[in-house]
Amino acid sequence: MTSATPAAAPAHPLPTVRPAAAGDFAQWRALYRGYAEFYRVEQTEEAAALVWSWIRDPAHEVNALVAEDADGRLVGLAHYRPFARPLSASTGCYLDDLFVSPDARGSGAADALLARLRETAAERGWSVVRWITADDNHRARSKYDRVASRTMWVTYDMAPQDR
């Protein structure tokens, strides 16, 4: 009789994903600052506090997931919201922001965040999870190409009024 060798546990357990909680602000802020810096967006503390207030307000459309490592450190975030899709008479999920701290890239945090978002969309009956990314964000696009379908849509921004 032979015995099977047990599978080795991963060297680092995969991050767990959960909704952002009230006590997460400081770690969330550090991640969100990293996200803004990555995209070279100037972000004030007031603006970040406003976004956090949206996340914490159950009546606001913006939601947040965080990825937490085995030590309880937040290593990733995802901000998302529902959006109406009149042509298909459905509601979709729009992923506004996805960020994993540079030292946690390759840990599975992005996969875990996207998987949880997919589950959330299914639970809520949303028809699609949609997002955009920068054309030159090659590492992220490599990940996205494995989990989603690139669309043919080109994105435009128009200012509300002439400036």
Pick the CATH number of 18-147 from 3.30.420.40, 3.40.47.10, 3.40.50.300, 3.40.630.30: 3.40.630.30
Of 34-38, 90-94, 100-104, 149-153, minimum mean pLDDT range: 149-153
Residue 154 has what pLDDT?
Answer: 84
> Distances from the Cα of 79 to the Cαs of 31, 50, 129, in angstroms?
12, 14, 12
pTM surpassing 0.75?
A: yes
Mean pLDDT (whole number) for 89-97:
97
* Residue 163 confidence class, pLDDT cut points 50, 70, 90: low
pLDDT (tens digit per residue) in 21-42: 999 999 999 999 999 999 999 9
Q: How far apart (Å, rounded) are the C-alpha atoms in residues 107 and 105? A: 5
